[in-house]
Every structure is written in C-alpha cells, then in structure tokens.
A and B are shown apart, each in its own frame.
Chain A
Amino acid sequence: MTVSTLAPPLDPGLKRALVSVLGDDAVITDPDALIVYETDGLTAHRVRPRAVLLPADTNEVAVAVKLLADVGVPFVPRGAGTGLSGGAIALEGAVVLSLARMTSILEIDEANQRARVQPGVTNLRLSAATRPFGLYYAPDPSSQSVCTIGGNVAENAGGPHCLKYGTTLNHILGVRVVLPDGTTVDLEGSGGASYDLLGLFVGSEGTFGTVTEITTRLLPLPEKVETLLAQFDTIDGATTAVSAIIARGLLPAALEMVDREATIAVESSVYAAGLSTEAAASLVIEFDGPAAGLDEDAERAAAICREMGASDVRRARDDNERQRLWYARKKAFGAMGRLAPDLLVQDAVVPRSRLPDVLASVYAIGHAHGLRLCNVFHAGDGNLHPVIPFDRRDEDSVRRVRLASREIVQACVDAGGTITGEHGVGLDKQEQMPLIFSDTEMRLMCDVRRVFNPRGLANPAKVLPVRTCREWIGPATRRAVADTGDDE
C-alpha cells in the first residue's frame, strides 16, 4: 500500500500558462485541497497529485494537455473517482485532469436513439434525462448515481444488467479524444475505413488519452420488469439454478447471487427485506422488456429454482417490493462495510459452469486464512466479487487479505477465467497480468499503447506491469532478437 507523499509543485511558468487558459479556479495546487484527489475507490493506495486541472470543454483539455506535453508532465484523466482498481491515482508526478466540470448533455437524438454527452455527466443523470423520450442508457454500474460516463468509457464499466445488455463497449457509438500530445481525434468502430479504434479505446483506463465527448446508444425503456428472489439451502443449489436458467434458454436482464454472510449483514441493517438468514445463498433474478411473455419467463425461472431445491421463491408484486428485493444485492457492500473499517472487493470472472467449484475454493481460501468472506456477485456472467472486511491498521490481517485475494484470483484463472471483469487493472492488478497474458501478448499491448501514448504521459505506470514497458524494446530490435532465437 502506498503512503501519501508530496510530489514537487508545478513549475510556476507552467502554472501561469495553465491558469491563463483554464482560469484561476480551474487550477488547484493548494496541498490541502489536493487531499481529496489522493485516492479513488481503492482507498488502500494514496498519492497526492501535484495539481488538479478542471477544464470545461474539448478545447481546454487539448490546450492543457499540449502545455503539459511540451514540458513532459504526465497527467491522469479522472471522472468521479469511484473506480475500484486505483486507475485514477496520480503516479510519477502526474497532475489530475478532472472532467468534473464537463457535465453537459449536448444532444439527445430521439429519432436515432442516441445521446451526445460530455464525460462528466453521471450515468444515472443520462438515463433520467432521456426517460421523457421513453429511452435510457443501459449499462448500470453499482455506483451509477455518482460515476460518470467518461469514467465508464475508460473502464468499460459493467453492472448487474450486463447479462442481457452487455457492457459499456456495446453502448458507445463514438468518442472524441484528446491524445496525449494534445491533438483531437474522433474514434469510430470498424465498418468504414477505420479499424475499431473506438472498441480499443473503451476500457483503456485513461492510458490512451482523454475522452471529451461521447455518443451513446439509448434503448427503449422496458414495458415491464419482473423481479424474483429465490433462497437456497446450499450454495450448489443456487449455482446449479444459475446454470440451468441459462442452459434452458432464458436470458434474464440480471441474475445476481448473494450469500448467507452478506444476507445477514443486510438483514441486520435498515434495508432488511425479511429474508431468511438461514439460507446459504439467494438469487435475484430480473426479466425486462416487452410485457408480453415476461410473466412466462419469470414463471419458468421460478420453477427451475424450485426444481434445484429453492426453499423460498418470491416474486415482487410492485415497484416497492422490487426495490426491497434488490436491497439484498445492492446494499450488501455497504452493510458489509459496517463490519470492519476496510473492505476489499475482489473482481474476477469464471466460465459460468465453473461457478460451483470456484465458489467452493473461494470459501476454502477465506477459511484457510481465517478471514470472514462473503460473495455478492453477477452470477449470470460468472463475475465474482468476493468481499473481505478487514482493518488496515492490523498488519497481520492485511497480509492475510492480500494472500487470500491473490489465491482467489489464481483459482479463477485456473478455472479458465480472467483477473478482472469490470473494475479494471489500474494500479491494483498490474502484477496479475502475467497470470493470463504472455510476455509477447503484454508487449503487443505495450506497442499499441505507444501508438497512442508514445511518451507515457497519459496515466503513467498503469495497466501493464511497469517492467514490461520499461524494458520494452522497439519492433526492429525485437526482430533482431527473434533472429537469434532468443525471444523473451
């Protein structure tokens, strides 16, 4: 874990130039005012940035980035700072390029079902603004009331409804980007004259440049939503039901699992929904879309749950009840957070059919390290979120949490999964990249990053293990090495 340090202050000449472009109140250098930018959702790491810039539009971003590039000062684009992988933490003397003032919804195009927004618009606000047109923005990360569309693009954010609707990638139609040298480009998908640079940019975690305008798809609001909650006596019963629902041709909008430990935490909070705290696991299952046929799908899912041994299956009768059933899922992290001063939320993915054995391993790992561990996750996607409450002042508990966390990721990788499904690599998982990628693969990623970010000024020391790119040698040199049969 990183200790807060003070980076050298900005060069006065650079500061004057930035102030003259952005205005006095858009260049923050007062050390006390910088404290809130020390960290993001991954609070274990803290680094105070040299300065925070608050540009108002694409042009201001471009000019500011150019000024920084001219003197070789790195920068970190930042949305709401809710990321869970440390991606928005300013390393290597970087300044923070906050997009918090770029909050305009520039256009809602009802006829073409799309919106054009600045990156600082929050996820939920976009859906609220488009609701009067019968439209909404589908990706719904848990932090949607505060997280921004720009941050969602940087992280390729997911959410409970990815199962049916996909992630941010599937909902972005175009972006305007200021590259790390200050030039502005519009990126599109493939189909025309370009590679899918848009698809590449989404999820690049601020290391390819700064997104300043985003065109999103909008979807028609569902006519109806059906929500079920099924409780099971065994974890296996719940995971088998998940597989069966998928295998039998149902496609719920969301298929979420909450284990007993988490249910106990929620039920002893103000969000208690009257669930049994004896059950080993609960599934929240939601169907949405056209009203016709929804009832049949919900009934079939309920029947499958009963067949797999569910002790209790409830179906929400109205919006109120629907919200209560969702409390079990949505309030679980918060409720767990009250059990200890710190909370580690792990994020890894496995093929859905491997959920039963991987979950068993996760519990065993927690047990072996004497940790209280719960699971609240996107079961339909195989996207696990083991949650471990701990106290960061207790060194031994920190050590055990780290060990357990690493072993959990390894178990997911061994099952054919991946190290992160929606939180990103950031600063947190760089060292785990070699678990799933070879040196050759990481070097190719590094080569591609260099195309966008040749001097490493955009969000330095993130995503790829630092040594991969530090020791990086250009393609020409690599060919010479390959010729000697001494690659890697």
Chain B
Amino acid sequence: MIDRLIELIGEDAVSRGEFAAFHIHGRRPAAVVSPWTIEQAAAVLRVCSENRWIVEPAGGGTWLDWGRPPGKVDVLLSAERLAGVTDYQPADLTVTVAAGTPLHEIAETVSADRQTLGLDPAVRPGATIGAVISHASAGPLRLSMGTPRDQVLGVQIVTGDGRVVNLGGRVVKNVAGYDLVRLVVGSRGTLGFITRAHLRLRPEPEEGVTALYHADSAEPLLELAAGPVTRVWPAAVELVSPATANGIGREARWTLAVRCRGNGAFVAEATRRLGGLLPSVNPEVLDQAEENRFWDGLGNLEARAAVEVGFGSLPSRLGLLIRSGEERIRNGDVGEPWHMAAHVGNGILRMWLVDPISRERTERLYGLIDQARSELQADGGSVITPRIDSIPDSTFDPFGHPGPVFDLMNGIKSAFDPAGVLSPGRFTV
C-alpha cells in the first residue's frame, strides 16, 4: 500500500504510520498521507476506494478521539498542507480558506479588518476549519452568530471515490441546486475529505460586556435567563457549574454569564440594564479584557476534555437535564470533577471530565448515557459523546441511533462514498 501511495503522489507526501504522532482510539494508521494538492488528495481517495483501504480524514489531528473506534485505519489523510487563507474580500464579508487552515489563523486574518467568523467552538490548539465544519462545532456565541451550518457558504470536497466536487458557492445567498453543503457540515468526515471552504463573516462588534450572576443552584439562574435576560439582547448566555467556574479561576458557585456585544451606545445601555436585572443581586461586570479571559478560559477548559457528553433538548427543559445529570454523576462513581456548562438559549448542555477515567468507570458511564438517552429520546432530545474512551468489543454507541432516517443516511453515504472507505462505522452510518 505504502509503495503504491508513494508511486502515486511522491515520497514527501507519504509516511509510515508506525512513527505517526496521530492515533485513533489507540490505533495507529498504516500510513499518513499529506497531499500537497487537491488533485493528489483525489488520486489517493480513488486508489483507496479501488482497494477498499480505510481512510480517516484529519486536519490538525486534534479531534481523532471522536466516535466509535475504527476497525482499522489504512490511511490517515491529512489536510495539514492544504492550508492558508486563499481569498479574503473584506467588502464581501466572505473569506475563502483551505481546509487545513487553523481556526485561529482565520480569526487573526479577518480581525485586521475588524471582521469575525462568529465561531467560538471549544477547540484544542491547532484545530482546523475543516474539523470545525466536519463536527459542526460552535460555542456560546451560537446564540447570536449561529453555527457552521449558518456560516459555511460553500465547500470543496473530495468524495470517497475521488470525485472533486464544489458545493454551494462564495455568495451569501444561493439556492441553485440541492444544498449538499449542509450534508457535509456535521458529517464528521464520513461523506468526503474537505479541501476548501467559503465562509460568511460578520463585523466584529466594537465593544462588549459580560455580567456574571451567582447562585447556589442552577434554577434561579435559569429563571433569570428565561425572563429578564432576554430583554438585554444577549450575544451569549452560558450557565456554568461551580466546578467549571472554579476551573476558570472564578468563585466556585453556579454562574450565569451574560454577554452583550455591539456599538458603544448599545454596550453602555446593556451594562446599565445588566446591573439592574435582579433587584437583590449585584452581578460581577467584566470589562472587555476580563470578559475575553472568561470566555477563552471556558473554551480552553472544555477543549481539554478527555470525556465529554452533550445533551440537546428544549431550553425550558435544561433545569431537569442538569438535575438528573448531577444526580447520575453523584451516584454513578464515574470520576470527578465533572464540569458542566449550558448554552441556555439553545438547550444544549455539556458535561465533561478533563482527566481520563478507568475502564470500569467508562463502562459505568456507558450505562448512564444509554439510560439518559432512552429517557431523553422519547421527548425528542439527544445525547451524544463528542469525545469518549473506547472499550474493545463494546456495543456502546457514541451518537445513538438516528431512527427512521437511518436508511436515508445510508443512501446519502453511498452516494458520496460508494466503497464505504471514509471512517466506516465511526458515526451512525
């Protein structure tokens, strides 16, 4: 296989996996392939499909511990050399980037013109835009800025069998043909190897302020978030547990962080309103430098997760989710300290552990997750584990079953990856 790949795209783009820094749930790929060009990536996928060599797409290698463990990995296909901001037109509020470009590099490029991607996912250093798109990852700012689903205008991908296709475009409105871009966003590399993306940008708000409200339990803060907070036009509303607040250097109490961003006049008014939301409570008001430390701190803490569980439900059900989550952890002997944070307006709760846990505890955690999933799914909620240790031969499912759309998903998978070489079995199809 290695010889064939070297013959195909040259020695400098192929290395043996045994020396690789990358591993996937403890498994090293037989080869690491870092094409210099899109044509090379297409050639590689074509031969992989012909030979049924299993491929794991990768960017910065910061996200390989997702999903079910692979049966085998022949080729780790890296986008590290397909990197760089290739076209940036500030007047268009759009940017075109190669998929292997680290997220922070894009942020820096566009911030020179006071623009922003509006994406603040919790990612590890070096995470690429390709990975953020693959995992549809977004942070607290999703409340006002949306998620990659809203920001990605177009992508170029190489399908499992080596077809290079351009989906969507670089303009902000586009209804030409079927919107296959949406399928790629969040497909976790199972539909194609992303090589390029056109992204929507937003003006960077001139100013910002964050107010922190503290309480001894989550409930009063959720009530605050559901009522008075909606009247300050927040950009982000995040509830964090005492352990999490402590982990980012704040007081170890339940904390509701409300962030407002806009021009000077708006932020001045927001600051005034934030101070008076609760007659009895004086919030901690963070200025722009301090608030950046808070939000970066939260993202960095979550990015260090060795184990993470994500819950999706209606915003009004978050209180229940948090209570049952706390109870399960308390009684479950599944390690500590568990961190908790919720995107309140979006109904998304994340719970995570920074340190890995023993195999026994992981097994117990699987049981708790299965239980929570069967309870939540009845109400249309979901439970996924973006990062979790694997146990050989376990039947644990990190994402749950997609239900009646399973056949549709399988059909789509075969349209993009007829030989089934892209991360087979790691997601739900």
Are B264 and A463 neighbours in the complex by a CB distance under 8 Å?
Answer: no
Asked whether A189 lies within 8 Å of B149 as measured between CB atoms, the reply is yes
Contact A196 B173 (CB under 8 A): no
CB neighbours (8 Å) of B203 from chain A are 246, 249-251
Distance of A285 Cα from B150 Cα, bound (Å): 23
* Chain A: minimal CB distance from B386 (Å): 10
Cross-chain contact of A289 among B233, B267, B416 (Cβ < 8 A): B233
Interface positions of B from 197 to 232, Cβ below 8 Å from A: 202-204, 206, 226, 230, 232
Whether a CB of chain A sits under 8 angstroms from the CB of B117 is no
What's the interface size class on A, roughly? Answer: 35 or more
- CB neighbours of A250 from chain B (8 A): 203
- Least distance between B47 CB and chain A CB atoms (Å): 12
Q: Please determine whether A447 and B415 come into contact, CB atoms closer than 8 angstroms.
A: yes
Chain A residues, CB < 8 A from B107: none
A352/B176 contact (C-beta < 8 A), A249-B204, A441-B167 known: no
Given contacts A199-B182, A444-B415, A451-B408, contact A418 B174 (CB under 8 A): yes
Chain B residues with CB below 8 A from A418, complex form:
169, 171, 174, 176
CB distance from A448 to the nearest CB of B (A): 5
Binds B, one of A35-43, A301-309, A474-482: A474-482
Q: Is B15 an interface residue (CB 8 A)?
A: no
Measured CB to CB, the nearest residue on chain A to B226 is: A111
Residue of A whose beta carbon sits closest to that of B187? A195
A310 neighbours in B (Cβ, 8 Å): none
- B161-174 vs A, CB cutoff 8 Å, 1 = contact: the mask equals 10111110111111
Contact A194 B226 (CB under 8 A): no
- Which chain A residue shows the least CB distance to B400? A193
* Partner-binding segment picked from B89-97, B243-251, B300-308: B89-97
Q: Any chain B CB within 8 A of the CB of A197?
A: yes
Query: Bound state CA distance, A155 and B411, in angstroms?
Result: 23
In the complex, chain B residues whose CB is within 8 Å of the CB of A292: 265-266, 268-270
Contacts of A343 in B (CB 8 A): none
Task: For A196, list chain B residues within 8 Å (CB).
Answer: 136, 149, 182-183, 185-187
Is A169 a contact partner of B179 (Cβ separation < 8 A)? yes
B180 lies within 8 A of A445 (CB)? yes
Q: Tell whether A444 pairs with B163 under 8 Å between CB atoms, given A162-B173, A192-B400, A251-B203.
A: yes
Cβ-defined contact, A199 with B173, below 8 A: no
Q: Within A451-482, which residues are at the interface with B (CB < 8 Å)? A: 451-452, 463-464, 475-476, 479, 482
B265 touches A295 (CB 8 A): yes
Q: Does B315 contact A (CB under 8 A)?
A: yes
Tell me which residues across on chain A come within 8 A of B115, comparing CB atoms.
249
Most buried by B among A289, A382, A451: A451
Contact B405 A448, beta carbon cutoff 8 Å: no
B177's partner among A111, A186, A445 (CB-CB below 8 A) is A445
Whether A74 is near chain B, meaning CB under 8 Å from some CB there, is no
Determine the distance from Cα of A424 to Cα of B169 in the docked complex, in whole angstroms.
Answer: 15
What is the minimal beta-carbon distance from B415 to any residue of chain A, in angstroms? 4
Q: Which residues of A contact B206 (CB under 8 A)?
A: 249
Task: Return chain A residues, CB-CB under 8 Å to B10.
Answer: none
Residues of A contacting B314 in the complex (Cβ-Cβ under 8 angstroms): 109, 112
Q: When the two chains form their complex, are residues B171 and A296 in contact, meaning their CB atoms are under 8 A apart?
A: no
A337 within 8 A of B: no
Query: For the complex, is A366 an interface residue (Cβ under 8 Å from B)?
Result: no
Q: Please, which residues of chain A bring their CB within 8 A of the CB of B90?
A: 247
Task: Considering the complex, give the chain B residue whose CB is closest to the CB of A166.
Answer: B150
> Does chain B have a CB within 8 A of A419?
yes
Task: Report the bound CA distance from A293 to B203 in whole Å.
Answer: 15
Whether the pair A193, B166 counts as a contact (CB closer than 8 A) is no
Q: Verify if A259 is at the interface (C-beta below 8 Å from B).
A: no
Q: Which of A291, A378, A421 contacts B174 (CB 8 A)?
A: A421
Q: Which residue of B lies closest to A155 (CB)?
A: B175
Contact B146 A166 (CB under 8 A): yes
Contacting residue for A419 out of B146, B164, B176, CB 8 A: B176
Extra inter-chain contacts (17) besides given A158-B175, A418-B174, A438-B165, CB under 8 Å: A169-B149, A185-B405, A189-B149, A192-B399, A193-B400, A193-B428, A195-B186, A196-B136, A247-B90, A290-B232, A351-B170, A382-B172, A433-B177, A436-B176, A442-B177, A445-B178, A448-B178
10 contacts between A and B (CB under 8 A): A162-B172, A196-B149, A200-B179, A204-B178, A290-B232, A290-B233, A297-B263, A381-B173, A440-B165, A448-B180
Binding site for A on B (CB under 8 A): 46, 49-50, 89-94, 113-115, 136, 146, 149-150, 159, 161, 163-167, 169-180, 182-183, 185-187, 191, 202-204, 206, 226, 230, 232-233, 262-270, 312, 314-316, 347, 382, 384, 399-405, 408-409, 411-412, 414-416, 418-419, 428
